[in-house]
């Protein structure tokens, strides 16, 4: 839930959007305050006549040529590069000609720089950039007064000239893992505390993964403390080449396969000051994905789009930094290949996309630690990324059921009544949640002794009915309870596990219970304290999972009850485009102190650290797979929790925007994700809630949740027709559990996505690159939801090939085209892809019952008569079943009218399940007979070429064969 009033547009300063205040001639560029005068840091050239300038320029050219020839000879003797590479640049050589006193004679080279290639020299927000201010930074200034088309108003007026000083690579050595070098800056920049000498390391970590680190060899700087692979052997056959440009320093990475330039940092100068680090690269295409968490289309806009990363409690709106920070981008190249870029940095950051196309990372601390993933296909890129940050945990089975929650049940009895109503109507439900209204005065680890007095009974009843209970926790711990009356705070003070202010005293903020302290989850002692609190509460209310909210961390104050000091951490020389304009806006002070470092460094890690503590505690308490859903996230979060997309609204646009949000988090390694079905705030209409329940059926995390200020929206609240449609959708989800569970196994084992964009499976079809109103489960199930009101049809894109109607088996051969599909209110459009075998199951109202039911295998023949699929099965809640070998894995294949199953890995769990029915979609002619394990079997065949064999009773734990003739 949000911790502040909903902001009006006039109150919101969007990162990357044109400012609302500047005068008409400003085109959305950001600027520092005009009252902060700057002196030029580079020596100015005196004015001169044109004749003198030409003679001087001619002499300079001769000198430059001589130096270039000498440099080339020396370069060829240096070890790191086998060829001289001319950096990609859209401009010709030039130097800025300036007059005394800040005047300028604008050089021709500045005007020759194409707008798309202008890298912003004055990114600060707040004032209009003037020519004098720009020239004080020795940058080009071009103010184009002509009206520009929409989308181009972000072109910077102030931008770097080609000769802007940067670092020089003065030494480089071949080392075991790659190369290490020394970078020197001889001229200061306009940001304070330039680090003049840097260490540059290039690590050939694998054939498809390159790592580049730029660090300060003289001083230790903050590095993100997530576990990444430590590789000690250089990749034997890298699929990339690396070239170094010495002056100005730059790195160029190319794909060996086709010579495509994947990284080229020569396009703009490198900055490495204490609180301003900036690096840019050209991009091979405009197809950029990832870079969460923002509300946007799946495919990012590269028209001067700034994506700010700094965890923030804010209801999802476009162009705003939201709950998590994920500086990972996936890029599709023009030929269907893909690569990824990951800057491992947790400080406040802007990632700027511009139409060159190019990308700029701009962060206020830490180091530059960049990974390049070569793919070559998008799925491989994600797998390589997750090799670094960690693959997602295997979820407990009931996590994949239907969840129901509301802020506003008001009592445990009312909550219980909702559960009973769901049972009475036979609507599937696995998990009941409570929002903060279950707490006693919003105090963590308590429940209201009056309104929620029967909460333990409710939870026990859920367990008797094979259902589960999840409760919310916020990190803010009340600091105002009488001494000795509130153990979480008293014990926290005794153990010194709370965040302190910059003076070392307890930092006090405000959240739902009033004045609060904030646990420091960077401290191992805090993890133990968290576990003890959860254990104590579990002995009273035996909850099954945790919902950790408000963990950006959110604060109703800006900083603390006493504000924040004025220092360089609170007001860095550059502040990214964070909502609220300061790093402390609606969170704790940036200068606040954790055990390991300042909040300035770990703010966006807070949700990750809390999730890690929560998952660890649940493992100890329950001895089973933990279920944790977190609002704030960071790379590697999937190891510990899932995520929901925050406080959306009951609007059709929010219905649609949930799809790119869900797909993006699958790219980011958090596949257990979904949006609040039917919307969190506002009132949902019946039609919207039906359509949203149908779409939510295919969220990996399927939860209906809304606020107390809105009307109840659980399925039982609507008309019989709407209720029936929602029930049908949820039963459909439960029937697909074996398929979904297997997809999560592949996510856990191989780093695959669960819900995935169409271009993952069809990377050569560029029509799929921008599709985010449809998606796939795995490679086989295509979901085409209705996202508009008042219609009974939907237009969907079917990539080239044969697609089968999920419900009927009717085939459709597509050339790669849009198709208008009939979609009445009680139906969501689903297609199965040719060549796949999808395991389904007879559904029930809980997954505990459903998961013991017989299987139905849907086999979709390709044009060549082939198909394959698989199934992972275990006890569905024990820890590390794959790692300990306690699982079954079965593959299914169809070749030449013969389907075979093979038990690749056996386990007793598989022997409890039978295969009851197999349907073959796309059998061209009616068979004369069907043979099952050498015995003739009854079958049916329909006019739409569907062959069905029923009443099989085949043990899943044994190989079987089905053949038709």
**Are residues 94 and 161 in contact, defined by beta-carbon separation less than 8 angstroms?**
yes
List helix spans (H) across 623-683.
652-667
Which residues 6+ apart lie within 8 Å of 789 measured at CB? 652, 685, 687, 688
Q: Which among 909, 943, 906 is positioned nearest to 926, based on CA atoms?
A: 943
Q: What is the CA radius of gyration of the chain?
A: 30
Residue showing tokens 């790659």: 178
The helix/strand/coil state of 783 is: strand
Residue showing tokens 């039963």: 731
User: Cα 420 to chain center, whole Å?
Assistant: 36
Q: Which among 265, 369, 386 is positioned nearest to 746, based on CA atoms?
A: 386
d(CA 405, CA 470): 9
Across the beta sheet with 271-273, the strand order is 271-273, 276-282, 358-363, 349-354, 305-309
DSSP letter (8 states) at residue 194: B
350 is an active site residue = no
DSSP result, 613-636: HHHHHHHHHHSS---EEESS--TT
* Tokens found for residue 892: 């299914």
CB atoms closer than 10 angstroms to residue 769: 20
Residue 855's φ and ψ, nearest 5 degrees, are: -95, 150
Inter-axis angle of helices 487-495 and 524-538, to 10 degrees?
Answer: 160
DSSP result, 25-63: T--S-----TTS----SSPPPPP--HHHHHHHHHHHHHH
List helix spans (H) across 670-797.
686-696, 720-735, 737-750, 758-761
CB atoms closer than 10 angstroms to residue 665: 30
- Which of 120, 205, 274, 552 does the annotation list as catalytic? 552
d(CA 403, CA 213): 43
The helix/strand/coil state of 71 is: helix
552 is an active site residue = yes
CA torsion sign for 610, 616, 620, 623 is: positive
**Are residues 731 and 843 in contact, defined by beta-carbon separation less than 8 angstroms?**
yes
User: Cα 381 to chain center, whole Å?
Assistant: 14
481-487 long-range contacts, CB within 8 A, separation 24+: 481/443, 486/443, 487/445, 487/533, 487/536
Q: Which among 560, 586, 562, 583 is positioned nearest to 572, based on CA atoms?
A: 583
Taking the C-alpha atoms of 931, 933, 934 and 939 in order, what is their torsion angle to the nearest 10 degrees? -20
d(CA 132, CA 136): 6
- Which of 333, 387, 549, 647 does the annotation list as catalytic? 549
HSE at residue 533, side-chain half, CA atoms within 13 A, is 25
* Tokens found for residue 922: 């796309």
CB atoms closer than 10 angstroms to residue 528: 15
d(CA 415, CA 404): 10
State the pairing for strand pair 271-273/287-292. Answer: unpaired
Active site residues: 549, 552
């Amino acid at each position: 839930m949000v911790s502040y009033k909903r902001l009006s547009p006039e109150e919101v300063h969007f990162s990357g959007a044109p400012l609302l205040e500047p005068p008409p001639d400003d085109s959305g560029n950001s600027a520092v305050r005009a009252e902060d005068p700057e002196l030029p840091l580079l020596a100015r050239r005196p004015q001169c006549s044109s004749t003198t300038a030409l003679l001087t320029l001619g002499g300079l050219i001769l000198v430059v040529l001589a130096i270039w020839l000498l440099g080339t000879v020396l370069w060829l003797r240096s070890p790191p590069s086998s060829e001289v590479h001319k950096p990609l640049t859209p401009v010709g050589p030039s130097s800025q000609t300036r007059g005394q006193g800040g005047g300028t004679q604008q050089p021709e080279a500045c005007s020759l720089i194409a707008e798309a290639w202008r890298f912003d020299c004055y990114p600060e927000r707040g004032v209009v950039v003037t020519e004098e201010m720009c020239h004080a930074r020795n940058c080009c200034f071009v103010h184009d007064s002509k009206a520009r088309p929409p989308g181009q108003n972000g072109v910077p007026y102030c931008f770097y000239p080609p000769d802007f000083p940067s670092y020089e690579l003065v030494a480089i050595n071949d080392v075991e893992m790659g190369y290490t070098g020394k970078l020197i800056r001889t001229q200061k920049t306009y940001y304070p505390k330039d680090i003049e000498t840097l260490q540059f390391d290039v690590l050939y970590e694998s054939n498809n993964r390159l790592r580049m680190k730029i660090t300060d060899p003289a001083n230790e700087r903050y590095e993100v403390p997530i576990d990444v692979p430590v590789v000690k052997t250089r990749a034997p056959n890298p699929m990339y080449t690396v070239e170094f440009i010495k002056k100005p320093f730059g790195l160029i990475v190319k794909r060996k396969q086709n010579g495509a330039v994947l990284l080229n940092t020569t396009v703009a100068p490198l900055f490495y000051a204490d609180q301003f680090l900036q690096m840019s690269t050209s991009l091979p295409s405009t197809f950029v994905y990832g870079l969460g968490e923002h509300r946007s289309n799946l495919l990012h806009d590269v028209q001067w789009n700034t994506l700010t990363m700094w965890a923030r409690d804010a209801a999802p709106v476009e162009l705003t930094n939201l709950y998590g920070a994920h500086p990972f981008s996936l890029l599709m190249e023009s030929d269907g290949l893909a690569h990824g870029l990951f800057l491992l940095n947790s400080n406040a950051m802007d990632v700027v996309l511009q139409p060159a196309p190019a990308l700029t990372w701009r962060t206020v601390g830490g180091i530059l630690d960049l990974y390049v993933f070569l793919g070559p296909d998008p799925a491989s890129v994600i797998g390589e990324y997750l090799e670094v940050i960690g693959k997602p945990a295997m979820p407990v089975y009931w996590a994949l059921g239907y969840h129901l929650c509301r802020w506003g049940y008001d009592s445990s009895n009312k909550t219980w009544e909702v559960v009973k109503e769901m049972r009475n109507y036979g609507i599937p439900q696995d998990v009941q949640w409570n929002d903060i209204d279950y707490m006693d005065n919003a105090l963590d680890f308590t429940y209201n002794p009056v309104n929620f007095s029967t909460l333990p009974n409710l939870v026990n009843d859920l367990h008797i009915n094979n259902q589960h209970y999840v409760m919310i926790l916020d990190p803010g711990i009340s600091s105002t309870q009488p001494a000795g009356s509130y153990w979480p705070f008293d014990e926290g003070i005794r153990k010194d596990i709370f965040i302190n202010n910059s003076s070392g005293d307890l930092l006090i903020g405000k959240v739902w219970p009033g004045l609060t302290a904030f646990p420091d989850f960077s401290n191992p002692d805090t993890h133990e304290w968290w576990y003890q609190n959860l254990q104590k509460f579990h002995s009273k209310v035996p909850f099954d999972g945790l919902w950790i909210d408000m963990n950006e961390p959110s604060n109703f104050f800006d900083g603390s009850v006493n504000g924040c000091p004025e220092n360089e951490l609170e007001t860095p020389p550059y502040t990214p485009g964070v909502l609220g304009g300061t790093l402390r806006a609606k969170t704790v002070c940036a200068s606040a102190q954790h055990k390991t470092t300042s909040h300035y460094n770990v703010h966006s890690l807070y949700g990750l650290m809390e999730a890690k503590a929560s998952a660890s505690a649940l493992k100890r308490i329950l001895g089973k797979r933990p279920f944790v859903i977190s609002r704030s996230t960071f790379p590697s979060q999937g190891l510990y929790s899932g995520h929901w997309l925050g406080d959306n609204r009951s609007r059709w646009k929010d219905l649609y925007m949930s799809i790119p949000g869900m797909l993006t988090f699958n790219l980011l390694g958090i596949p257990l994700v979904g949006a609040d079905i039917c919307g969190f705030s506002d009132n949902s209409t019946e039609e919207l809630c039906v359509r949203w329940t149908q779409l939510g059926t295919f969220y990996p995390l399927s939860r209906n949740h809304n606020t107390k200020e809105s009307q109840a929206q659980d399925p039982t609240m609507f008309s019989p027709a709407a209720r029936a449609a929602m029930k049908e959708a949820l039963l459909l989800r439960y029937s697909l559990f074996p398929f979904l569970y297997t997809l999560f196994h592949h996510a856990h084992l191989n780093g695959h996505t669960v819900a995935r964009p169409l271009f993952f499976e069809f990377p050569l079809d560029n029509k799929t690159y921008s599709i985010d109103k449809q998606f796939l489960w795995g490679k086989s199930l295509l979901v085409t939801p209705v996202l508009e009101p008042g219609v009974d049809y939907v237009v969907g894109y079917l990539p080239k090939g044969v697609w089968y109607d999920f419900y009927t088996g009717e085939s459709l051969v597509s050339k790669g085209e849009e198709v208008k599909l009939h979609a009445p209110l009680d139906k969501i459009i689903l297609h199965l892809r040719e060549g796949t075998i999808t395991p389904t199951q007879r559904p029930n109202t809980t997954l505990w019952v459903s998961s013991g039911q017989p299987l139905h295998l849907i086999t979709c023949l390709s044009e060549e008569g082939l198909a394959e699929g698989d199934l992972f099965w275990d006890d569905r809640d024990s820890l590390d079943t794959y790692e300990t070998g306690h699982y079954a894995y079965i593959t299914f294949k169809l070749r030449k009218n013969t389907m075979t199953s093979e038990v690749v890995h056996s386990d007793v769990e598989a022997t409890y399940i039978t295969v009851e029915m197999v349907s073959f979609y796309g059998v061209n002619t009616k068979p004369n007979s069907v043979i099952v394990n050498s015995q003739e079997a009854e079958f049916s065949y329909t006019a739409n070429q569907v062959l069905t064999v029923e009443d099989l009773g085949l043990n899943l734990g044994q190989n079987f064969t089905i053949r038709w003739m």
